[in-house]
Amino acid sequence: MIRSFEMGGRVVGPGEPCLIIGEVGQAHDGSLGIAHAFIDAIADAGADAVKFQTHIAAAESTPAEPWRVKFSRQDATRYDYWQRMEFTEEQWHGLKQHADERRLLFLSSPFSLEAVELLKRVGVAAWKVASGEVSNDPMLEVMLASKLPIFMSTGMSPLSEIDALVEHIKTREVPLVVQQCTSMYPCPPDKIGLNLIPFFRERYGCPIGLSDHSGTIYAGLAANTLGIEILEIHVTLSREMFGPDVPASVTTAELRQLVEGSRFIEAMRTTPLDKDIIAQDVAPLRDLFTKSLVAQISLPAGTVLRREHLTAKKPGTGIPANRMEASLGRRLRRDVAAGDILIEDHLDEVRD
């Protein structure tokens, strides 16, 4: 399998920063203006890519398609809803151009051959294969022929189906990312499947991602500690927005936290630590936070030190406190006042 690949100026693979994708899905509710607002918000949050879904109702559905959840008051059928979600090809080109201007990779999940052809003309950085499309062989063949990377969601697939598709893609020498996903909206923590990330990495030998529907930043941050190469997460402008995906989405403010947290985790995970070098780096702080031997009372020269003469106080610029026992029985060379920090020059070399 291809372990690393370049995509729109970004390298995806082991040791590279996780590619963070803000998934708009249908959160724009058919409004082109809101779709453009999502691009700006996702870019401002620091994500790497924006992803939409390209629905062409007549090409992907029938009027008899049932609702998953009957959420819309204005659409009599789910088919009507898909129609209302459609953008024209010119509008898709405009969204792609806007993403380019904001330095975001542009992605969109197609749900029909017609949508694939449209997106080929618009230009996408990779193909995202939604959970319900992994068995859509005619559409997959067109995607594979383009040689663009494939991001494969596994939300509804048994292992046998994933195995077969991975083997097929391997023969075509196309970059593949297998994304752990559970098709629950929102997805509870016990169904996220973090254990499958290292399992898939060992089983398939390709980059691994998480497509998260938990509606929190926690799953993405946890997955980042496991070294995922791609993180896709649903985004909403506000939790008060309309739409079926809002409960499974993070706000754009939370997306910024997720991006910042992921970069923090990556810096921790990829930077080996040498305690001796770190100790040298923080050496100046030792003087501030450690303690020295200090005279409890004024002591004349010639005094043989006993425990009641000494205490330990900050700063650590004198004889270290852990040398208390070794200092007992040594003779003072000069007078010291109460509260003076003892240094080696105050004491004879040997104990009496």
CATH number at residue 102: 3.20.20.70
Interacting residues of 296 by C-beta distance below 8 A, sequence separation 6+: 308, 309, 310, 311, 338
- Same domain as 244, residue 138: yes
177 in a domain, yes or no?
yes
- Same domain as 262, residue 312: no
pTM: 0.86
Range of the domain at 247: 5-270
Q: What is the pLDDT along the chain (352 residues), one digit of tens a residue?
A: 789 999 999 999 999 999 999 999 989 989 999 999 999 999 999 999 999 999 998 898 888 787 777 777 787 788 888 888 899 999 999 999 999 999 999 999 999 999 999 999 999 999 999 988 988 999 999 999 999 999 999 999 999 999 999 999 999 999 999 999 998 989 999 999 999 999 999 999 999 999 999 999 999 999 999 999 999 999 999 998 888 889 999 999 999 999 999 999 999 988 888 888 888 888 888 889 999 999 999 999 999 999 999 999 999 999 999 999 999 999 999 999 999 999 999 999 777 6
Q: Which two tokens stand for residue 167?
A: 């083997």
Q: Hunting for tokens 């398609």 — which residue is that?
A: 65
Interacting residues of 150 by C-beta distance below 8 A, sequence separation 6+: 126, 127, 129, 143, 144, 169, 174, 175, 176, 177
The one-letter amino acid at 118 = L
- Same domain as 253, residue 216: yes
Q: Running DSSP on this structure, what letter comes out for residue 278? A: H
276 in a domain, yes or no?
no
- Same domain as 287, residue 161: no
**What distance in Å separates the CA atoms of residue 79 and residue 330, rounded to the nearest whole number?**
93
- Same domain as 328, residue 191: no
- Same domain as 296, residue 220: no
308 half-sphere exposure, CB direction, 13 A CA radius? 0
- Same domain as 200, residue 68: yes
Output phi, psi for 59, to 5 deg.
-90, -20
The one-letter amino acid at 7 = M
Rounding to the nearest 10 degrees, give the CA dihedral for residues 259, 201, 145, 158: -100
- Same domain as 285, residue 237: no
The one-letter amino acid at 187 = C
How many domains does the chain fold into? 2
169 in a domain, yes or no?
yes
Q: Which of 270, 292, 310 is the last residue of a domain?
A: 270
- Could you tell me which of 246, 250, 247, 206 has the C-alpha nearest to residue 230? 206
**What distance in Å separates the CA atoms of residue 12 and residue 175, rounded to the nearest whole number?**
10
